Amino acid sequence: MDSIYLNIIIKMAAAFCILLIYINLSGKGSLAPISALDQVGNVVLGAIIGGPLYNPSISVYLLVSAASAWAGLLLLVRYLTFKRNMVKNIVDGNSIQLIKNGQLLSDNFSQAKLSVRDFIMLLHQRGYPTLNDLKNVWFEYNGQMTVVKKGDTDMATVVIESSSIAETNLENIGFNKEWLIEQITQQGYELDDIFLAEWHDNRLWIYPKQKME
């Protein structure tokens, strides 16, 4: 067999193994990326693997080293964003509210780096012909929009995630950390016991961590 074809086959086998390991370690979420970093990371990983396949001057060792290093960095970031909300806020950012109770929050458009024209286009693409029909709109950290129409039930707001208080979300609904601690104490919980808590319909809904038996 020609050495060029053999080189390609070996690289393809190595790349397949790296992708298989990466997908298994990162979870199925890596196949349907939620955040912008996931999307860009997957594109770069594909380019690192795809580019050297047909380039005989790039060795298998270099391909494996570069792809493994990038995949390892992505896995590290995913782990830190899962374990630390502060890291997730830095990497992914927060949802930005653009319409609140039917009023445009014009100052938040610059924070979201979104022009009015793009905002209107995104709404039209989702089937909302006029702003007058909308009650609340958030620009999410993955570039999508969450929309609540007038007359619809409001979306729940996450205030605790993996025992960490989502202070920005808490401020958006008009409460503070002291109030939240008091509420969870009244329900018989401590912050470390809570996996998820959300505020909805004027009530705090708490979902505790499941203890291993």
Within 10 Å of residue 98's Cβ, how many Cβ atoms? 24
Tell me the whole-structure pTM to 2 decimals.
0.60
94-149: CATH, from 3.50.50.60, 3.40.50.970, 3.40.50.2000, 3.30.240.20: 3.30.240.20
User: Where are the domains positioned within the chain?
Assistant: 3-90, 94-149, 157-208
Q: Which two tokens stand for residue 129?
A: 């012909």
- 94-149 and 157-208: identical CATH topology: yes
The CATH homologous superfamily to which domain 157-208 belongs is bsu07140 like domains (3.30.240.20)
Residue 114's identity, in one-letter code, is L
Q: Which amino acid type is present at position 37?
A: L
Q: What is the pLDDT along the chain (213 residues), one digit of tens a residue?
A: 567 778 888 888 988 898 888 888 877 555 555 666 777 788 888 888 888 888 888 888 888 999 999 989 888 888 877 766 666 666 666 788 899 889 999 999 988 888 999 999 989 988 898 899 999 998 887 778 889 998 888 888 899 988 888 888 888 888 999 999 999 999 999 998 899 999 998 899 999 987 655
Give the bridge partners for 135, in sequence order: none
